Amino acid sequence: MSALLELDNVTVRYGPVTAVRQASLQVLPGEIVTLIGANGSGKTSILRAVSRLLKPASGSIVYFGEDIARVPAYLLPRKGLVHVPEGRIIFGTLTVQENLDLAAWWRVDADQVRADFTDVFAMFPRLADRRQQLGGTLSGGEQQMLALARGIMARPRIMLMDEPSMGLAPIVVRSIFAAIQRINEAGTAILLVEQNAHMALSIANRAYVLQTGRIVMSGDAKDLRDDPDIQAAYLG
């Protein structure tokens, strides 16, 4: 099966500091692929390079058969590549409904947009109850639900998710991961960065392990979850 997303020897720098060193990875259609590693290992930098928020110093990023090195970041959601960033970054002064409207403003398939709103509110009933509430007044868990829902409204082929469980209570984390699985089961591939390595490996198909900007291990997520070295380093 051809890769939906493929990175080949990608290096990312912040000035003189190298954050990612010659990283190569693939995400196949329908997969959940997770990146695990300590803080500062380069996981977020990889997502930012894919979504064109950072320009790689070298290497190539191919999405759906297209080298996206020169595609402006704002056009990628129209191509089905959506980034749900760390910290949620919703529009706090807009309502839930307005946040979701903005995610779909460019779409011309009005009937499908209405169907997607129905699906999103069925997946996140708390958002349905709060659709006229300002985003900034939602709880952290509700804001994360809104960030995921906003991504869904762009009709992605692949979603890049950065730390979706950060700062959330365990019961909310479980609901967020259940939503991630439902998004994937609906046909969206996912590249997931998540500090909760145990949860990430439990839902992923494959995983890549990063240390100081390098991919040092990869394989089936369940095999990595059972690896003693991975358990000692990341699973506690």
Helices marked H in the chain: 43-50, 96-103, 110-123, 125-129, 140-153, 170-185, 197-203, 221-225, 228-230
Please state, as a whole number, how many other Cβ atoms lie within 10 Å of the Cβ of residue 175: 16
Judge contact between 150 and 91, C-beta under 8 A.
no
Q: By the 8 A CB rule, do 232 and 38 touch?
A: no
Q: How many Å separate Cα 187 from the centre of its chain? A: 14
What are the domain boundaries of the chain?
A: 5-89+157-235
Place of tokens 């947009």: 113
Alpha helices in 163-230 (DSSP H): 170-185, 197-203, 221-225, 228-230
Among 214, 157, 202, which Cα is nearest to 7's? Answer: 214
| Residue pLDDT tens, the chain, 236 long | 799 999 999 999 999 999 999 999 999 999 999 999 999 999 999 999 999 999 999 999 999 999 998 899 999 999 999 999 998 899 999 999 999 999 999 899 999 999 999 999 999 999 999 999 999 999 999 999 999 999 999 999 999 999 999 999 999 999 999 999 999 999 999 999 998 999 999 999 999 999 999 999 999 999 999 999 999 988 86
**pTM of the entire structure?**
0.95
- CATH topology for 5-89+157-235? Rossmann fold (3.40.50)
